[in-house]
Amino acid sequence: MRKEIQHKIVSLLAAESTFVVKALFFGLPIKVLDYPYCAVVWTSSPGPNIDQTTKLRAIHRIDYVIQVVHRSRKEDEAEEKVEDLIEIAHGVLFGNPTLDGLVYDSYPVEVQPIEPTVQDDYAIAGAILKVACFAEVTK
């Protein structure tokens, strides 16, 4: 279930024509060669993540982080690109709360910047979008 949800998020982002990245990863990348990139990572949920409503039905909360990182030698370009991509990802996921019927519900819960830095004449900026997904499990 978790893997399928993660793949669905990746495929929805890949299908969006305005979400232009050089690489889109399922999980954290080992080596990044091209920027901007996006990684979709399963992450922890606050508090209990299973609501056992009956013996035969439960709702699982499964959170994912969509991480976008860009680097550029041009002033402000990395930050602006990251902000644009995070807004696009937010719109894609907010506009499809059932992830094409795969989950009961989902919604973005948090957007945070990754501390920008400078490395070898490149400005590196990033942000994360945390999405809570709710999947119904029945026996």
The reply to whether the predicted model has a pTM over 0.85 is: yes
pLDDT of residue 25: 94
Show the domains of the chain with their CATH numbers.
2-138 (3.30.70.1700)
pLDDT for the residue numbered 32: 83
CA distance 20 to 79: 15
pLDDT tens figures, 5-41: 999 999 999 999 999 999 999 998 888 888 999 999 9
pLDDT value at residue 48: 67
* Residues of the chain scoring pLDDT < 50: none
Query: For residue 86, what pLDDT is reported?
Result: 97
